[in-house]
Amino acid sequence: MNSIMCKICGDILSSYHVHDFKRCSCKLIGIDGGLEYKNRTGSPMLIHEITSLEEYIFIENLSVSDRVNKFCLENIPLSLHETIYFLVQKNRQA
């Protein structure tokens, strides 16, 4: 399994084959490599590694707001999270 979740926007990303690069909607993290290798882009502080199918299913069934509340604020100072979220929203509007 090669899946991660962005701790800012709550997007779940999975890479299924080599050169299957994907980026979250806030563009802060990315995943690549499929089952051949695991490549991550972005700050490790913003990445939640999904390590099992059970965890993937659990997270997938949560609403985005529940993902943000449960996982995304973990190990990220609230002020940093709010700043990043504000900048992402501002960038989306531009």
| Number of other CB atoms surrounding residue 63 within 10 Å | 9
**68 or 16, greater pLDDT:** 16
Whether residue 13 has pLDDT greater than 90:
yes
pTM, whole model, 2 decimals?
0.75
Name residues whose C-beta falls within 8 Å of residue 28's C-beta, 6 or more positions apart in sequence.
6, 8, 9, 42, 43, 46, 84, 88
pLDDT of amino acid 91: 65
Query: Where residue 72 falls among pLDDT bands split at 50, 70, 90?
Result: low
